[in-house]
Amino acid sequence: MRRIADGRVRVDGRVVRNPSFRVELGRARLELDGEPVRERRTSLVIALHKPAGHVTTRVDPGGRPTVYDLIPQLDRFVFPVGRLDRDTRGLLILTDDHRLGQRLTDPLHHVAKTYHAHVAGVPAEDALEVLRRGITLPDDGTPTRPARVRSLGVAKDGGAWLEIVLTEGRNRQVRRMCAAIGHDVRDLVRVAIGSLELGDLPAGEWRRLAPDEVARLG
């Protein structure tokens, strides 16, 4: 208000001192101290159903398809929030909002990522309890946080489907956790990030998230 009263604001070249002066955003030319005032853009956040076989990177030196091959040319650059390895499918968020990206990937915020894993064999309950408590990964000694783990049933091939909910995102973590208890992952899909679910979004398709969906992500 003070800046307006002091005559520092111009609308279409004219000094405006009335705080109630109506301005048609997008059409009027606003200036503060002689510098143009740019309208703050709403963040762009999209949900993509990443299929297996695509890598989560802008360009792949080996020529493999990337997630950017699945989205159109947008009016701004968006980056993936976290990664899914090439063989993992499911929900991937891309955005131009770096604060949102930090909030969703920083382990301190404990944003849950939910995965459905098809594993070889049927893990015993005590093996699942090891994952729930947290496990030291044998390949490099990395300790994992406690996870929510439950069985979703036996698969047709004699393996099992597990639901695993993590609040951290280490490299290939679900695959490494399951291998550590002797049940290699055969198929892996991320079905939710926070309260946002993959739902019926087809593989390879994307959609823009509404503001209320973005607000509920964390």
Task: Report the distance separating Cα 134 and Cα 146, nearest Å.
Answer: 4
DSSP code string of 145-192: ---EEEEEEE-TTS-EEEEEEESS--TTHHHHHHHHTT--EEEEEEEE
Classify each residue of 53-62 as buried b or exposed e, where b means 16 or more C-beta atoms within 10 Å of its C-beta: ebbbeeeeee
Query: So which residues are the catalytic ones?
Result: 85
Whether 198 contacts 49, CB under 8 Å: yes
Task: Report the distance separating Cα 142 and Cα 18, nearest Å.
Answer: 61
How many Cβ atoms sit within 10 Å of the Cβ of residue 34?
Answer: 7
Whether 149 contacts 163, CB under 8 Å: yes
CA 65 and chain centroid, separation: 19
Residues linked to residue 159 through DSSP beta bridges, in sequence order: none
